[in-house]
Amino acid sequence: MATKKKAKKKTAAKKKAAKKKVAKKRVAKKKVAKKKAKKKAKKKVAKKKAKKKAKKKAKKKVAKKKAKKKAKKKAKKKVAKKKAKKKAKKKAKKKVAKKKAKKKAKKKVAKKKTRRRKKR
């Protein structure tokens, strides 16, 4: 009988040990799961941050493009102004030339008149 009792105790001890092992494993699994979850969460946060960064970059890019467009427009306006100035100068020159031509014509007429007078 004593041996039977001992055997029972042994099996009970074995069972306990087995239970403990299983429990340990479970705890370990939970720990691993927690770690994994943490990593996942970190990754999520990192992804969000990356998205934000990307958005900012995109905004900057757009802003740069807009700035370039503005600069181009400004440059075009400058060129247009220069052209307009040149045109205005040309016009002014033409006006002056016309005036001179008129004066010359008047002189010619005057000369003709004096010539006529001389002939008389």
Q: What percent of the chain has pLDDT over 90?
A: 51
Report the SS3 class of residue 1: coil
User: What is this structure's pTM?
Assistant: 0.32
Q: What type of residue sits at position 75? A: A
* pLDDT tens per residue across span 93-108: 999 999 888 888 888 7
Q: Which residue has the higher pLDDT, 119 or 58?
A: 58
Going along the chain, which residue ranges are E strands? none
**Residue 5's pLDDT band (cuts 50, 70, 90):** low
Q: How far is Cα 35 from Cα 27, in angstroms, rounded to an integer?
A: 12
Task: Report the pLDDT value the prediction gives residue 110, as an integer from 0 to 100.
Answer: 77
User: What's the average model confidence in pLDDT over 81-103?
Assistant: 91
